[in-house]
Amino acid sequence: METLKLQKRVPVSAMLDSKIVIPAIGSAFKKLDPRLMIKNPVMFVVEVVAALTTVIFIKNVITGGSDLGFAFQIILWLWFTVLFANFAEAVAEGRGKAQAESLKKTRTESQAKLLTGSDSGDKSYRMVSGTSLKVGDVVLVEAGDNIPSDGEVIEGVASVNEAAITGESAPVIRESGGDRSAVTGGTQVLSDWIRVRITAAQGSTFIDRMIKLVEGAERQKTPNEIALNILLVGLTIIFVFATVTIPSYAAYAGGSISVVVLVALFVTLIPTTIGALLSAIGIAGMDRLVRFNVLAMSGRAVEAAGDVDTLLLDKTGTITLGNRQATAFRPVRGVTEQELADAAQLASLADETPEGRSIVVLAKEKYGIRGRDMAELSATFVPFTAQTRMSGVDAGGSSVRKGAVDSILAYVNGGASFAVASGNTVRAMQPAAMSDTAREIQAISDEIAKGGGTPLAVARDGKLLGVIHLKDIVKGGIRERFAELRRMGIRTIMITGDNPMTAAAIAAEAGVDDFLAQATPEDKLQLIRDEQAKGKLVAMCGDGTNDAPALAQADVGVAMNTGTQAAREAGNMVDLDSNPTKLIEVVEIGKQLLMTRGALTTFSIANDVAKYFAIIPAIFLAFYPQLEALNVMKLASPQSAILSAIIFNAIIIIALIPLALKGVAYRPIGAGALLGRNLLIYGLGGIIVPFIGIKAIDLVVTALHLV
Amino acid sequence: MTMIGWIQIALYCAVVLALVKPLGGYMTSVFNGERTFLSPILRPVEAGLYWIGGVDEKREQHWLTYTVAMLLFHVVGFLGLYAIMRLQAVLPFNPAGQSAVAEDLSFNTAISFITNTNWQNYGGESTMSYLTQMLGLTVHNFLSAAAGIALAVALIRGFARSSMRTIGNFWVDITRCTLYVLLPICIVYTLFLVWQGMPQTLGAYVDATTLEGAKQTIAVGPVASQVAIKMLGTNGGGFFNANAAHPFENPTALSNFIQMISIFALGAAMTNVFGRMVGNPRQGWAILAVMGVLFIVGVAITYGAEASGTTGLNALGLTGGNMEGKELRFGIVASSLFAVITTAASCGAVNAMHDSFTAIGGMIPLINMQLGEIIVGGVGAGLYGMLLFVVLAIFVAGLMVGRTPEYVGKKIEAREVKMAMLAILVLPLMYLGWTAVAVVLPSAVASMANAGPHGFTEVLYAFTSATGNNGSAFGGLTGNTFFYNLTLASSMFVGRFFMIVPAMALAGSLAAKKSIPASAGTLPTTGGLFVGLVIGVILIIGGLTFFPALALGPIVEHLAMTASTLF
């Protein structure tokens, strides 16, 4: 599963294939429109000064100025800086667009069978165009039909191919009631029929939203991006002060500095690297989630994922395998294991639940009890009901029952209802009213429950035989994942309907930090509120309608795609694979997004040191020859130094596009170690790299006689 | 450089460090409104003051109310001080018969003292009456220091509190600071200075006949009481024109040492107040470590530069370092150390002429001020200035751990970044901007004592010192002109209040936030990594701003000096 998911991610080399790159070049030019540029203040400023120097240059060409070749090259690279920034954004968008294209294909014009009859038996309909459907309309979708729009199944069961949105070709079951009632427009019914009430108008369906999201059309700046932009604008203003005052200082010293050189200094100093890549990083972050088959409804949600302090995880399906399995038969005194196993197997023969089947399997594997034919035994199956809370078989005058311990005890006791139907009944019972065997059963059950198992009592003809030990199987590797999360500083809380004893045992086995037992939806909501009151950010996933309030309350609510429409509306992310364990990866992707921004900001600012050493001696050398001592890179000439710095400044944007798109690797090694590592790479690296880069470019510039 | 020199520096650091914890603990109690050992005596006075002022000490203020109260307080203070200077000729305690202070000079001086700058375009003994010195200048030495500390405490509360609308009461903070912290220390300190030989008298100037038979008027006055708060409150405005180089203002080696200690004492202790109030003293120590590293490096460079002298003189065999402009009583170490301390903190008292330092030796004081005086810094102002940089450092690098940046449990978001940026922006705007104007204005250039890069540095230093509310003068520049009086006053005003208002807005927005408990995923802000990170951000973001100006001033001067070219 894990490797399969990893393969879905596209390697970097493929990110920059020609299908994306060529249109991106075109849109890099289109994005020069100042109305678009202004959204990125740093690059807008670069565009303004590039335009300004271009005007001055044209004037100089007409009036015949000096050093035109040098000025021309500087201006050229100023424009390249802007174009490279636009290109980075266009590439990031391009990858989303490619995905959007494939989604759009599913949105083809379809016909819908609008039901005209009012009662549920009436299947009369008329064909209408899918686009004319309104919210609240009820349509019939039969095998082979496309579901015209998002909706809720109100009647029927059908297998649906949702490959269009999940990429998974295996069909899924959609049925009315319960937690699998949501259907998505554009998916196809393969068998049977369903009656669907439309819940989304055209243009706002799930696929429509997905397309908009992956295209980045409705991208808004996230809170962190806004804050970062403020920092970048602030730094830009500081460098405005630092550069506009230079001509005056130079005049005092008896020299002068041309506008184009001043602009070059200014542009190299302002944080163009991060300014150019900021929106690409954001788009790529959303995109990484999409590649992971998770849809974030906003960039804000992705950011919040990185900040999550507490993860609420449902026990079943996330921490444990979905089904409990029988692991042992525990007879009471006077009954052999074989006897108990035999009875248990008989009681479970017709039980198609995974638990029931696991009992049959255990009886066969451990005690060699072969399968028997119900018909041959002329046995009648007594199914499980919520009232009796037990199931079994009546065969040949004998009746075997298995079920919740308290129910079986009550059953054996002739239906005396001393057992209260609550999770904690074993304790609620009156010891005085129990027989020795009952007490023994209770002792065994307690022991099993303490160990995290679920006891299932077995009785034959009113006689208690023993207890079946059902056990939750904790998923392999999950313990290590939780340890990893702990190192990331994230607390995990297991949510379960089990009683506290069972929950504690599983919690210990899985290695979660805490658990919430006998959890009701209200408890879950309260837990989230409590955590949030402590200042923590909470993530959870859920699928049922009763999860909706908690999903809405959580800072990151991942709804399962198989879930109800209510759940999908309430969450701020949807997992198309409906794999709750993915919450962990979602958090990692969020962290990666923030880290990438931080790393490139640090790199960008650290770069300035080298640029100063390249440009400051160059511009003042004419009147203070002593400043040659600051030319530590030994750049060939003042002009080549300035040109090299501006070239470096532009091409570093291109060089960092892959990193911006791929993201900085996240390692769960704790914040301190992570910071140390990244500071070394992007901080110290950011100081050193431009020294080498500018020197190398200077050698090329000189060799090519560009100045 | 000598071993004795380094021992003196080490001893200095040791004493400052030893004072951090006791002073920090005491100040924390004071600002938490707790009982202290001085309460039996001071509490009735404090309660009386609130009764007179109609202040309800239990009632806390929103950041805006707090800031408005602070600003009103300064407006009244400014008007009062301006009036005293203009009217001093007709007011009592004027034995030397000083005439009214000129309009522009009064304006400059009033701004200078309410902003804790104490830039002096006047000579104390030749311009100010005793009344002006005592009731005007000394009072403002207390109040501007107390205001700075109060503001820092308000910002600390912002970090320490969770989901609260208020950040304390300005009137209570400034009263408690003055009564419980500044006054008691100053009383003891004044007596010590008098013991060391500093005058403390209301008597007239003394006429003496020198050995040559010439008549000389020796200025005296209530010196010790003013010097105590001038140092403790990092004000720096000298009673005499020569400031701490004057024998009456700094009589002995011991007085020099204690004066240096007192410049840093409260500022360093404020880091401890911060640590205690946010519930983790290590947070305070980490900030002090940032300051400490920058300080030691600065001292080493200045001391090194002064001890090695200039190439030209060395070539003539005149080795032994640069003694020009230094008091023989103090020598190279104590002068270098004093220069770095007084500019690292926002004090501005001087015991040597910075103008006469070597280019590099004089550059460090300049850089100290350009970084915003956050290396210990002015009382209170140093801490809030440093916290602004910490906010930026955390924001830039904090993202690299994969979380929205947090500092002591507070998320650093758009509003915090905006306020920190606004506060930091005004500094370069003032000193780079006014310098750019001054160096091309012929009348302003005429005020320079030296040509070339050195003259440039004189101007840059003046505006930097004013903007940073330091008040130390490089020397050389004739500042008492209409142009400099007004432009320096505007620098002082903007440098103080345009930084305070965003800092208070920051306090308000932080206090309103929830406090997030730290986890393994939280950026640790107490270790060496954090210290290194903050230093890096301070040097890069702070340093990049003024590197061009430095290149044209002290750096080129130094490079020329090594080739024996002087300006």
Tell me: is residue A388 an annotated ligand-binding position: yes
Question: How many Å apart are CA A515 and CA A530, to the nearest integer?
Answer: 14
The burial of A331, by beta-carbon neighbours within 10 Å (0-12 exposed, 13-18 middle, 19 or more buried), is given as buried
Interface touch A672/B435, C-beta < 8 Å = no
Q: pLDDT at position A109, please?
A: 65
Question: How many Å apart are CA A485 and CA A481, to the nearest integer?
Answer: 6
B359 Cβ contact list (under 8 Å, min separation 6): B305, B453, B454, B457, B554, B555, B557, B558, B561
Give B403-469 as a DSSP string.
S--EETTEE--HHHHHHHHHHHHHHHHHHHHHHHHHTT-HHHHTT-SS-HHHHHHHHHHHHHHHHTT
The burial of A376, by beta-carbon neighbours within 10 Å (0-12 exposed, 13-18 middle, 19 or more buried), is given as exposed
Which 615-644 residues of chain A touch chain B by CB within 8 A? 616-617, 620, 624, 626-627, 629-630
Residues A284 and A298 in one domain: no
Residues A380 and A490 in one domain: no
Residues of A within 8 A of B392 (CB-CB) are 231
pLDDT digits (tens, 9 = 90+) for B342-358: 999 989 899 999 989 99
On whether residue A140 sits in a domain, the answer given is: no
- Decide if B425 touches A, using CB distance below 8 A: yes
Question: How many Å apart are CA A79 and CA A652, to the nearest integer?
Answer: 14
- Decide if A248 touches B, using CB distance below 8 A: yes
On whether residue A602 sits in a domain, the answer given is: yes
Residues A563 and A634 in one domain: no
Tell me: is residue A384 an annotated ligand-binding position: yes
pLDDT digits (tens, 9 = 90+) for B15-26: 999 999 999 999
Interface touch B559/A626, C-beta < 8 Å = yes
- Decide if A73 touches B, using CB distance below 8 A: no
Alpha helices in B212-358 (DSSP H): 223-232, 253-277, 281-308, 311-315, 331-344
Evaluate whether A282 touches A222 at the Cβ level (below 8 Å): yes
- Decide if A673 touches B, using CB distance below 8 A: no
CATH code (residue A314): 3.40.50.1000
Interface touch B400/A679, C-beta < 8 Å = yes
Q: How high is the mean pLDDT in each 10-residue block of chain A (707 residues)?
A: 36 61 90 91 96 94 87 95 94 79 68 75 78 84 85 86 72 77 83 86 75 69 89 94 93 90 94 93 85 82 88 82 82 88 85 82 84 74 77 82 85 56 42 71 86 85 88 83 84 86 86 88 89 88 79 89 78 82 85 92 92 92 90 93 96 94 86 90 94 96 90
Q: pLDDT at position A426, please?
A: 41
Helices then strands, each counted (H, E), chain A = 27, 20
Q: pLDDT at position A501, please?
A: 81
Higher pLDDT, A7 or B173: B173
Tell me: is residue A358 an annotated ligand-binding position: no
Q: Where is B52: in which H helix or E strand?
A: helix B39-53
The burial of B232, by beta-carbon neighbours within 10 Å (0-12 exposed, 13-18 middle, 19 or more buried), is given as buried
B471 Cβ contact list (under 8 Å, min separation 6): B112, B117, B118, B119, B120, B235, B236, B237, B346, B347, B348, B465
- Can you tell me the ipTM of this complex? 0.92
Read off the tokens for B291: 């300051």
On whether residue A427 sits in a domain, the answer given is: no
Q: Domain of A552?
A: 294-318+474-575
Active site residue A314: yes
On whether residue A111 sits in a domain, the answer given is: no
Read off the tokens for B528: 């060496």
What's the gap in Å between the CA of B560 and the closest CA on chain A?
6
Residues A340 and A459 in one domain: yes
The percent of residues in chain B predicted with pLDDT above 90, rounded, is 70
On whether residue A485 sits in a domain, the answer given is: yes
Q: What share of chain B is helix, strand, coil (3-state, %, to 5)?
A: 65, 5, 30
Q: pLDDT at position B403, please?
A: 87
Q: pLDDT at position A119, please?
A: 63
Name the residue facing B540 among A227, A597, A609 (closest C-beta). Answer: A609
On whether residue A160 sits in a domain, the answer given is: no
Domain extents in chain B: 354-563
For residue B44, give the DSSP letter: H
Residues A343 and A270 in one domain: no
Phi, psi of A35 (to 5 degrees): -65, -30
Interface touch B552/A629, C-beta < 8 Å = no
Interface touch A591/B540, C-beta < 8 Å = no
Q: Are strands A538-542 and A556-560 parallel, antiparallel or unpaired?
A: parallel
Name the residue facing B398 among A303, A598, A683 (closest C-beta). Answer: A598
Q: pLDDT at position A480, please?
A: 86
Higher pLDDT, B58 or A66: B58
Test mutation, A252, A493, A537, chain B, max B CBs within 10 A:
A252
Overall average pLDDT of the B516-542 stretch? 87
Question: How many Å apart are CA B566 and CA B559, to the nearest integer?
Answer: 10
Tell me: is residue A385 an annotated ligand-binding position: yes
Test mutation, B395, B400, B509, B559, chain A, max A CBs within 10 A:
B400
Residues A236 and A299 in one domain: no
Q: Cα B443 to the chain's mean position, in Å?
A: 29
Total number of domains in chain A: 3
Sheet with A380-382, side-by-side order of all strands: A320-331, A463-474, A453-460, A398-403, A390-395, A380-382
Supply the Cα-derived Rg of chain B in whole angstroms: 23
Give A183-210 as a DSSP string.
E-TT-EEEEEEEEEEE-S-TTSSHHHHH
What's the gap in Å between the CA of A287 and the closest CA on chain B?
18
Question: How many Å apart are CA A337 and CA A344, to the nearest integer?
Answer: 10
On whether residue A188 sits in a domain, the answer given is: no
Tell me: is residue A596 an annotated ligand-binding position: no
Question: How many Å apart are CA A610 and CA A648, to the nearest integer?
Answer: 11
Residues A224 and A89 in one domain: yes
- Decide if A683 touches B, using CB distance below 8 A: yes
Name the residue facing A489 among B409, B421, B519 (closest C-beta). Answer: B519
Domain final residue pick, A575, A602, A630: A575
For residue B179, give the DSSP letter: I
CB pairs under 8 A between A and B: 222
pLDDT digits (tens, 9 = 90+) for B298-323: 999 999 999 988 888 888 888 888 88
- Decide if A31 touches B, using CB distance below 8 A: no
Test mutation, A220, A236, A240, A249, chain B, max B CBs within 10 A:
A249
Evaluate whether B235 touches B351 at the Cβ level (below 8 Å): no
pLDDT digits (tens, 9 = 90+) for B30-51: 999 999 999 999 999 999 999 9
Domain final residue pick, A557, A575, A593: A575
Evaluate whether A481 touches A582 at the Cβ level (below 8 Å): no
Residue with tokens 């300004």: A52
- Decide if B566 touches A, using CB distance below 8 A: no
- Decide if A557 touches B, using CB distance below 8 A: no
Interface touch A230/B514, C-beta < 8 Å = no
Encoded amino acid at B289, one letter: A
On whether residue A278 sits in a domain, the answer given is: yes
Out of A150, A208, A314, A575, the active site residue is A314
Residues A482 and A523 in one domain: yes
